[in-house]
Structure 1
Amino acid sequence: MRDAVVVGAGPNGLTAAVELARRGMSVEVFEAMETVGGGARTEELTLPGFRHDPCSAAHPMGAGSPAFAAMPLERYGLTWLHGELAMAQPMDDGTAVVLARSAAETAASLGPRDAGTYRRLVAPFEGRWDTLAGDFLKVPWDGVPRDPLTLARLGLVGVQPVAGLMRRFRDDRARALFAGLGGHAIAPVGTPMTAGMALVFALAAHARGWPVARGGSQSISDALAAYLADLGGTVHTGFEVRRLDELPPARAYVFDTSPTALARIAGLGGAYAGYRYGASVFKIDYALDGPVPWTAPEARRATTVHVGASSREIAVALKAAATTDRAPVRPFLITTQPTLVDPGRAPEGKHVFWVYGHVPNGWEGDLTDAVERQLERFAPGFRDLVLARAVAGPADLARRNANYVGGDIATGAFRGLQTMFRPRVAFNPYATPHPAVFICSSAAWPGPGVHGMSGHNAAKAVWRRLGLSTRRG
């Protein structure tokens, strides 16, 4: 009889397993793929020697994660690499707005009419990331907030749609910046609580940056797995779980899966029938003969580049992906340039480039031309540098990772009560109708991102249920 069995070896499943093993529990992990990683993998998708991240690439929440900060992951090979700028967003006039480690530099890029507004927006939170992240990313039953006033300030701003936050600014440079930050929710700009995501991403940049992991996102998963092994945990790969009775007997089963898969495997019937999946993405990984020739010099210094030159353009693209069956004509793009800071991920002088645009859930078209027209608009000559490309639409993403239902990399739509209460309205979102079954995936609070906090919080729910609090490691 094991104490806990974890299904799925993504960052949340591995984090949950580590947290339980650190407290003296016997843990086994079962992963359907041949390697650990989930949404944090690195593979040669195009040409030999070019190492790409099939899903996540830049990690603002990973570098700022309270769960990861409490683990010695650097001893297991995890190193964060930072570009000169966290993010740049080119404008049609050849300049760019930037998200820098310095709030003052970020504010200056917005122009004189909005610089002061930005500084006033972020000033109450500066220097408070550790307590703010710890308070914001946990669940209410996990003790009182360490800094309730700062958390309340974040809540007052964050509960509104990002469209409301954008109205604070006079010029569209600032509005476009926040529309792009809110776009990480893969939801229309009028969606409640998207302002919170936008603000947290900005604060993370100022506090911890938007780094990439040396060697690729696989390094995060490998570090977690290696730490788990040292704690006595075991990982089985190439083992697809179809029914609960295929697993060893255990006191608790923790699922790093979609709610749909959990209900099917654990025999929970319609427990998550009301859960909804959101828009998808169309992903392209490029092998390039040189760096991206951005017109804006700031974009050449940033590890992440957002492509969307106006708040209206971004809003139209997000709305099309989330509310229609048509892909946007001018997609909003999120891109990363890992080899600017990690040249070993490509042959000498070459580069890998990561990009996705938003499309409707389950969309079956090809967005390649629209993506590359957007890139050529801000980086003329981009197509001339392409040595190879690996294209993945919604169906491809779902085949590679079963959690991405219909290609939804957020494992659940940000809409209605589900924006706040994931995967269902409950005091303990990690518990299920089965007393021994728990969910720890990004379908549960605090949602998507490689930060391990859904796994961290779920592990607390497990050991509270089991009555174990002994810590080791």
Structure 2
Amino acid sequence: MTTTSALRDVVVVGSGPNGLAAAVTLARAGLAVTVVEGQPEPGGGVRTLPLVSDRVGPDEGLLRDVCAAVPAAAPTSPFFAELDLPARGVDLLVPEVSYAQPLDGGRAGVAWRDLARTVEGLGEDGERWRRLVGPLVRHHEDVARIALSDKRSLPVAAVVGGAGAALAAALAVLSTRAGDRWWRTDVAHALITGVAAHTITALPSVAAAGTAAYLGALAHSPSGWPLVRGGIGEITRVLVADLRAHGGQLVVDRPVRGREDLPAARHTLLDTHACVAARMLAEPFRGRLERLPVGAGVCKLDYVLSAPVPWAHPDVARAGTVHVGGSVEQMRQAEAEVAAGRHPDRPVLLVSDPASHDPGRSGRSGLRPLWAYAHVPRGSDRDVRPQAEQQLERFAPGFRDVVVDCVVTPASRMADHNAALVDGDISGGAVSMWRMVARPGPRPDPYAVAPGVWLCSSSVPPGPGVHGMGGHHAARRVLRELGLPVPSLAPGR
């Protein structure tokens, strides 16, 4: 293990994409940086590890994406765009269908990356989809700049250049039940609502509408919602390599439970949940972070299948991401139950079958992984596999016949493999439009949480997602305090 006895310029706690983004930015600026990670391997929510179960051994060679699986935000993230993942050997696979929403009766909403094809498939609602989503797609890069900003200095050119108007129009339709009248069919309405459900919060809401508008725009962009060949952990590999190439150190298998566990440093950046960061601070700084409520949770399901999911609608199999929740009202009811601390009988699931797009993800005997999140109340210790399989069997008759095994991680155990996922909260705190702007609290600088201490996780703007911008924004503030320029992130620099 790398030693850290000497005083470092910067210590970063946590090696998720935000922590590594901060570390890379600061190391490239010439600072001495050490990243401290509690797990045996780096990556936090961006790791790919062996998938082993009671019935499937390591010789099968299966891999599972431990947390995130589809980095939809990465291609248009200013941090990752400048870092240039493809130039560094990360192969982003772009499915022809970004996402799909199966419905009863063998029907489905299908969001092809090709907007025109999506419009054609939505029939009576096709033109409405074009009018709502089309402007977002035309301005998708500016939409991403707004969504991934620090919410303190919005990109004015993006706001006034068309993206602002497109976002305002989408929010007007998607943020309240009054907007239900926009749609004529249940298929298109469910298709966009499934995207909104990524927030794991009440539906409809302004925050969920913003998520639907942002991710909906990316779905029809050239980059789509990509998967990573070989698993999302390839992104971590690139970040760690760049950190080390610029003199940074990485210490793994070293949990940090308090300030006494930290190496000495002039600046400390915390890629942790706000409530975890609070434990490392004294008052009044502790109380400020504790005001950000913990959000709803997920139960992680890592399936091993003997064959592809037998979706009733064949085009669902083409999707990189499948939203399993049924109709709009069924999803709204399920998310309302979760928000109230109850387990829905029909939970909302996010599902991805990576071997359908990356044949190398299949095992030696042909087995394949299936990644799934089920939305549950925060801190839930319940194994919701029976409810999840009922949902999957509902839209993919015969699903249970192809299940070999399943590794279940309840929300209450998610923090065992990533301390930032308190109570299974993958969002870094409760999600609302106010909380997306004022996270962890309503302060001019949300990243500076104590003298010499900076928060750089999903608990600060722009919030959850594999984009690295929470870390990059925090690092830029450290550099500004030190009077140092922001370095280039381009390969070869």
Deviations 1:71-122 (A, max 9, x none): 043344321112221111112121211112111222223222x111111112
CA distance in 1: counterparts of 2:152 and 2:101, whole angstroms = 39
| 2:217 pairs with one of 200, 203, 214 | 203
Do residues 35 (structure 1) and 41 (structure 2) align?
yes
C-alpha separation in 2, matches of 1:92 and 1:54: 30
Structure-2-length-normalised TM-score: 0.91
Q: For residues 251-270 of structure 1, what are the alpha-carbon distances to aligned partners after superposition, in whole Å with 9 as ceiling and x for unaligned?
A: 21110001111121133332
Distance apart, 1:142 and its partner CA: 4.6
The structure 2 residue matched to 1:194, chosen from 208, 211, 220, is: 208
In the alignment, which of 179, 183, 187 is matched to residue 193 of structure 2? 179
| Whole-Å separation in 2 of the counterparts to 1:156 and 1:240 | 43
Superposed displacement of residue 228, structure 1: 1.1
Q: Does the CA contact (< 8 Å) of 1:41 and 1:54 recur in 2?
A: yes
Is the 1:162–1:198 contact (alpha carbons within 8 Å) kept by the matching residues of 2?
no
Q: Deviations over 1:314-355 (max 9, x none)?
A: 1111111112x3211111111001011112122253221111
**What SS is found at the alignment partner of 1:147?**
helix
Aligned to 2:98: 86
Task: Give the stretch that moved more between structures: 328-337 or 301-310.
Answer: 301-310
Whole-Å Cα distance in 1 between the matches of residues 461 and 337 of structure 2?
26
User: Paired residue for 2:86?
Assistant: 74
User: What secondary structure is seen at the aligned counterpart in 2 of 1:24?
Assistant: coil
Q: Is the contact between residue 96 and residue 109 of structure 1 (CA under 8 Å) also seen in structure 2?
A: no
**SS of the counterpart of 1:448?**
coil
Rate the CA distance shift 1:334–1:25 in 2: closer, same or farther, 3 A: same
Give the aligned partner of residue 144 of structure 2.
Answer: 133
Q: Is the 8 A contact 2:436 2:462 kept in 1?
A: no
How is 1:431-446 mapped onto 2 (pairs within 5 angstroms)?
Answer: 431-432=448-449, 434-446=450-462
Q: What does residue 471 of structure 1 align with?
A: 487
Q: Given the superposition, is the C-alpha separation of residues 411 and 144 from structure 1 closer, same or farther in structure 2, using an over 3 Å criterion?
A: closer
Q: 1:423 to 1:470 in 2, by over 3 A?
A: closer
Answering whether residue 193 of structure 2 is matched by residue 168 of structure 1, we say: no
Could you state the TM-score of these two structures normalised by the residue count of structure 1?
0.95
After superposition, the C-alpha distances for 1:30-59 in whole angstroms (9 at most, x for unaligned) are 111111111111122333211111211112
Alpha carbons 1:291, 1:350 under 8 Å: kept: no
Identity %: 40
2:14 is the alignment partner of 1:15:
no
Where 1:93 maps in the other structure, the secondary structure is helix
Q: How many residues align?
A: 470
Structure 1 counterpart of 2:3: none
Spell out the pairing of 1:259-278 with structure 2 (5 A cutoff): 259-267=274-282, 268-278=285-295
- 2:4 aligned partner: none
Which shifted more, 388-397 or 57-66? 57-66
* Residue 245 of structure 1: how far off its partner (Å): 4.3
Does the Cα contact within 8 Å between 1:81 and 1:212 map onto a contact in 2?
A: yes
Does the C-alpha gap of structure 1 residues 128 and 254 become closer, same or farther in structure 2, counting only changes over 3 Å?
A: same
| 1:253 correspondence with 2:272 | no
Aligned counterpart, 2:74: 62
User: Which letter maps to 1:219?
Assistant: E
Q: Deviations over 1:187-244 (max 9, x none)?
A: 0113322111001111111112111111111111111111111121111111112332
Aligned to 1:99: 111
* Counterpart check, 1:337 vs 2:353: yes
Q: 2:424 aligns with which of 407, 432, 436?
A: 407
- Point out the more displaced range, 136-145 or 337-346: 136-145
Partners of 1:407 and 1:246 in 2: how far apart? 24
CA separation of 1:95 and 1:31: change in aligned 2, threshold 3 A: same
Equivalent-residue separation in structure 2 for 1:247 and 1:188 (angstroms): 38
1:214 maps to 2:257: no
Looking at structure 2, the residues matched to 3 and 146 of structure 1 have their Cα atoms a distance apart, in angstroms, of 35
State the match for 1:360 in structure 2. 377
Which residue matches 2:463?
447
* One-letter identity of the residue aligned with 2:478: V
Measure, in 1, the Cα distance between the counterparts of 2:265 and 2:451: 12
- Alignment partner, residue 235 of structure 1: 250
Partner in structure 2 of residue 225 of structure 1: 240
Aligned-pair distance for 1:381? Answer: 1.0
CA RMSD across the alignment: 1.9
